[in-house]
Structure 1
Amino acid sequence: MKNRPTIGLLYPGYSAEDDYPALEQRLDGAVRLPLVHTSVGEDAHRVDALLDLGSAPRLAEGAKALSQYEPDAVMWACTSGSFVFGWDGAHEQVDGIAAELDVPVSSTSIAFADAIAHLGLTKVAVAASYPEDVATHFVDFMRKGGTDVLTMRSNGIITAAEVGTLGKDAVVSMIHAADVPEAEAVLVPDTAMHSLAWLDDLEEAAGKVVLTANQVTVWKGLDLIGDVPPLDGLGTLFRR
């Protein structure tokens, strides 16, 4: 791994993208996180809109713009725009981006499955911002990857823009509403939701591992190019 690994981010639209430069600043440049906004047809947590959001032409356009940063690895920093394609489709999606850039590529949905495996967990609860029909696609995706989803709580939020306005207390409330004692972790799958400044607080409130979309995105980007360094303030995932 380079002294300053560069993880390129393809991020749809505008909602919680400021999580990433804020983290880069907190880490004093130890990791570079250049970000390109991919185009959005309609900001809606609706399956047809999400299939368009994650379409190959939109991602190829973003990848072309991201190439100027010479990333070591790239993350499609979007959960819903990857899991709606299903397990096989999500992997084909990142393979297409990798063919454009000739670097390792993954996505937030795949990162959730890989983070759970890395931590040796099997039973989780899901605190989803999405409407129930969209959230069910995430549950199906995780189960296809071998995770036992014990419970899922949908919060019915239609737009990424609205999710981006949620503060820490609202996220904690979502986690508590979804959690069950048997769950080893709570998953919070939406890169439109801020979380990177709150991870230790979220885990303290939950009393267990919490995995958020922006957290697993950064972790997987680093994992693609080498051993992930321990980083303070980013939850259990970055301490193990």
Structure 2
Amino acid sequence: MLDRSTCVGFLYPGFSAEDDYPRLEALLGDGVRLPLAHTDMGEDAHRVDALLEMGATHRLADGLTELSRHAPDAVVWACTSASFIYGPDGARRQVEELAAAAGLPVSRVSSTSFAFAHAIEALGVRRPAVAATYPDDVAEYFVRFLEAADCEVVQVSGRGIITAAEVGTLGREQVLELAVSNDHPDADVILLPDTALHTIAYLDDLEQAVGKPVLTANQVSAWEGLRLAGDATPRTGLGALFALPDHPRIATGAV
């Protein structure tokens, strides 16, 4: 029986699509709690130097202190770009540092980048198309991260948006267009990797529009956190990922 006090804490950079998380909490139901702490972004810029600083552990520490009041079962750094920008080894060290700072086992801590890799594995797909909001050079870091997880990226496009604040203004039609325009005949899944992008209200619409699974950053972050907390309950209305009947064994916290 599901522990009705399942709690996953999220470290979220700045302010853009954070309202996806209370929406998720309402859709998940069953007493699931998804508290969120905003972290200090430094400079809001999808630029390599800014992202490396944004994901530094000292910038996330205050958020961990805030989340500790909720006694979370698992914690997720809900930022894709400021985790994959370090590469797989650096992103793994980031998770280890966060686990130590949070006083949690590393098996209960992850980031959105690893969440994408684990979600791809759980769905049994390996050929993603990446519909990125980032500039092309930043999107390529994500491609390399996925390739290290044995994915074959068949399409990648960067929309060239510099700030998370601007990404957060994109609405339903723009999000659907982003997915559809970046589909590829050889892709078996489409990835929308920015946690600044509102997607939770559109997950089923996205999959209907392209006729295949779509993974979005806030979606996989929540799925990863629940998985690490031991909740593998299938749910509808949140895309193919959440409808999986059970989660296969996946290496936690690292690719």
Q: TM-score, normalised by structure 2?
A: 0.92
**C-alpha distance in 1 between matches for 2:5 and 2:237:** 19
CA distance in 2, matches of 1:65, 1:227: 23
Question: In the alignment, what sits opposite 2:39?
Answer: 38
Unaligned runs of at least 5 residues, structure 1: none
State the Cα deviation string for residues 203-237 of structure 1 (Å, max 9, x = none): 00011000000000000001102142111210000
Structure 1 window deviating more from structure 2 (193-202 vs 29-38): it is 29-38
Contact 1:153 1:177 in 2 (8 A): no
Residues 190-209 of structure 1: pairs in structure 2 closer than 5 A: 190-209=194-213
- Offset from partner CA, 1:160-211 (integer Å, 9 cap, x none): 0010011111111111221111100000000000111110000000110000
**From 157, 164, 167, the counterpart of 1:163:** 167
Does residue 143 of the first structure (1) align with residue 147 of the second (2)?
yes
Match of 2:69 in 1: 68
Structure 1 position 29, deviation (Å): 5.5
One-letter amino acid matched to 1:186? I
1:239 corresponds to: 243
Q: Where do residues 49-68 of structure 1 align in structure 2 (5 Å cutoff)?
A: 49-68=50-69
Flag the 1:39–1:29 CA change in 2: closer, same or farther, 3 A. Answer: farther
Residue of structure 2 in register with 1:3 after alignment: 4
Letter of the structure 1 residue corresponding to residue 114 of structure 2: I
List alignment gaps of at least 5 residues for structure 2.
Answer: 245-255
Letter in 2 for 1:70: A
Equivalent-residue separation in structure 1 for 2:169 and 2:141 (angstroms): 24
Give the Cα separation in 2 of the matches to 1:181 and 1:130.
Answer: 23
Q: Tell me the CA shift for residue 4 of structure 1.
A: 2.5
Number of equivalent positions: 240
1:112 counterpart = 2:116 = yes
Q: Give the AA of the match of 2:191.
A: L
1:91 maps to what in 2? 92
Deviation at 1:92? Answer: 0.7
Once residues 25 and 242 of structure 2 are traced to their aligned partners in structure 1, the CA distance between those partners, rounded to angstroms, is 15
Is contact 1:139–1:149 with CA below 8 Å preserved after alignment? yes
Structure 2 Cα separation of the partners of residues 184 and 141 of structure 1 = 18
In 2, distance between residues paired with 1:56 and 1:227? Answer: 27
- On the 8 A contact 1:130/1:154 being kept in 2, the answer is yes
SS in 2 for 1:186: strand
Show the 5 A alignment for 1:184-223. Answer: 184-223=188-227
SS at match of 2:53: helix
1:134 partnered with 2:135: no
Moved over 2 A (4+): 25-30
By how many angstroms is 1:40 displaced? 1.3
What is the CA–CA distance in structure 2 between the aligned matches of 1:111 and 1:146, rounded to whole Å?
A: 14
Counterpart secondary structure, 2:15: coil
Q: Give 1:102 deviation, angstroms.
A: 2.5
Secondary structure of the corresponding residue to residue 154 of structure 2: strand
**Residue 172 (str. 1) matches residue 176 (str. 2):** yes
Q: Does the aligned pair in 2 maintain the 1:21–1:33 contact within 8 Å?
A: yes
